[in-house]
C-alpha cells in the first residue's frame, strides 16, 4: 500500500477552471458507494453538482465560500433517516441462513425502530464521514484536489434541495477539482507514538 495519497492530500481552496474527467468522477463516486457502514445500512445518497449557477447558489448557502463555485464539481452527502424501514430488505440481500437472518432481525430491528430522530441523525451522520474519507483519498489518488465543507446553513441547504427532512438531511459538501495552488501547505500531524498505543 502506498501512503503517498494519505501524505499528500490537503484541503484545496484554489481550483483550475477545468472539468473533471467523467470516468474519474464516477470512480470516486463508486468508492463512496462501496464504503463500509454500520450494519451495512448505507444510509447515504450522493448528489453531484456541476452547473455553474447551482454551484454559486451553494456557495451562498455556505457563507460565500468561493472555492465551492470555483470547483469543477461539488458532491453533497445526504444522510438517510429511513434505514429502519429498509433494514430487513438489506439483510435479506446477503442471502444468509434463515436462522442467522432471524437472529439479526430480532437483535437489531427493535434497536433501529426505537431510535428517536436525534439518534437517527447522529447515527446516519457518523456513516457519512466514513464515505467522506473514501471520496477524499480516491480523489487524491487520481490527482484531484478536494475540500470538505461543513460550514453551511443546513436548513437552507435542505430547503434548496427540497428534502423531506423526516427521511434525509444534508450532512457534508465536498468541492473537487484540479488544484491551482502554487505552494502546497506542509502537512502537520501528531507523531505516531503520540496517537498510537499498543495494549498487548
**Three-class SS state of 146:** strand
Q: What are the tens digits of pLDDT across the range 121-135?
A: 999 999 999 999 999
- Environment class of 36 (CB within 10 Å of its CB; exposed 0-12, middle 13-18, buried 19+): exposed
For residue 192, what pLDDT band results from cuts at 50, 70 and 90? very high
- The answer, yes or no, to whether residue 183 has pLDDT greater than 90, is no
Q: Please tell me the distance from the alpha carbon of residue 98 to that of residue 90, in angstroms, as a whole number.
A: 14
Q: Given this model, what pLDDT does residue 92 score?
A: 87
Span 162-181, mean pLDDT?
Answer: 97
Which element (helix H / strand E) includes 99? helix 98-113
Q: Please tell me the distance from the alpha carbon of residue 137 to that of residue 32, in angstroms, as a whole number.
A: 10
Q: Note the pTM of the prediction, 2 decimals.
A: 0.94
Span 82-94, mean pLDDT?
Answer: 90
- The answer, yes or no, to whether residue 12 has pLDDT greater than 90, is yes
Report whether 44 contacts 75 (CB < 8 A): no
- Residue 13 burial (CB count, 10 A): 17
Q: Please tell me the distance from the alpha carbon of residue 97 to that of residue 60, in angstroms, as a whole number.
A: 51
Grid coordinates representing 147 are 475540500
Q: What are the tens digits of pLDDT across the range 52-81?
A: 999 999 999 999 999 999 999 999 999 999
Q: Given this model, what pLDDT does residue 2 score?
A: 85
Query: Which CA distances in Å does 131 have to 13, 56, 77, 136?
Result: 21, 25, 9, 9
Q: What are the tens digits of pLDDT across the range 13-36?
A: 999 999 999 999 999 999 999 999
- The answer, yes or no, to whether residue 91 has pLDDT greater than 90, is no
Amino acid at each position: 500500500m502506498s501512503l503517498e495519497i494519505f501524505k499528500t492530500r490537503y484541503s484545496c481552496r484554489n481550483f483550475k477552471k477545468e472539468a473533471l474527467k467523467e470516468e474519474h468522477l464516477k470512480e470516486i463516486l463508486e468508492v463512496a458507494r462501496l464504503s463500509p457502514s454500520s450494519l451495512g445500512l448505507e444510509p447515504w445518497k450522493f448528489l453531484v453538482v456541476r452547473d455553474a449557477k447551482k454551484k454559486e447558489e451553494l456557495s451562498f448557502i455556505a457563507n460565500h465560500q468561493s472555492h465551492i463555485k470555483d470547483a469543477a464539481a461539488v458532491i453533497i452527502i445526504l444522510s438517510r433517516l429511513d434505514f429502519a424501514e429498509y433494514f430487513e430488505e438489506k439483510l435479506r440481500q446477503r442471502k444468509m441462513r434463515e436462522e442467522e437472518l432471524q437472529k439479526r432481525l430480532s437483535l437489531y430491528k427493535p434497536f433501529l425502530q426505537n431510535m428517536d430522530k436525534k439518534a437517527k441523525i447522529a447515527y446516519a451522520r457518523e456513516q457519512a464521514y466514513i464515505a467522506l474519507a473514501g471520496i477524499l483519498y480516491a480523489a487524491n489518488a487520481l490527482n484531484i484536489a478536494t475540500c470538505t465543507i461543513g460550514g453551511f446553513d443546513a436548513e437552507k441547504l435542505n430547503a434548496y434541495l427540497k428534502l423531506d427532512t423526516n427521511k434525509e438531511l444534508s450532512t457534508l459538501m465536498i468541492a473537487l477539482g484540479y488544484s491551482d495552488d502554487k505552494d502546497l501547505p506542509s502537512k502537520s500531524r501528531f507523531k505516531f507514538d503520540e496517537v498510537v498505543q499498543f495494549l498487548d
